[in-house]
Amino acid sequence: MRTVNIHEAKTQLSRLIDQAVKGESFVIAKAGKPLVKVTALTAPEPAQVRRRGFMAGQIAVPADFDRMGEAEIEQLFGAGG
């Protein structure tokens, strides 16, 4: 993503806006410090961050989860070992 300083943004605002509308977002910085990100209103939102444990308390995992279907698997593939 391109970073431009405030002076450059002022002098080339129309061109920068045209690029943003086409999907080329940019950052405006002051003294090298990023201040704002300019992007088109039609740009897709960043994907929501997936969190571990977001369903805590809503589902239960049986204690024998790792042994479920053991008999069927052994019958299909034979005894392990």
**Residue-wise pLDDT tens digits, 19-53:** 999 989 999 999 999 999 999 988 777 676 677 88
Q: What is the span of the domain harbouring residue 30?
A: 2-38
Contact 16, 26 (CB under 8 A): yes
Residue 70: inside a domain, yes or no?
no
Answer whether 0.75 is exceeded by the pTM.
Answer: no
In Å, how far are 42, 62, 77, 79, 80 from 71, measured between CA atoms? Answer: 54, 17, 10, 9, 12
Start-to-end C-alpha separation, the chain: 55
Residue 80: inside a domain, yes or no?
no
- Computed over every residue of the chain, the mean pLDDT equals 87
Contact 50, 44 (CB under 8 A): no
Residue 2 in this model has a pLDDT that exceeds 60: yes
| pLDDT at res. 81 | 56
Residue 56: inside a domain, yes or no?
no
| pLDDT at res. 10 | 96
CATH number of the domain enclosing 6: 3.40.1620.10
Number of independent structural domains in the chain: 1
Residue 14: inside a domain, yes or no?
yes
Eight-state DSSP code of residue 47: P
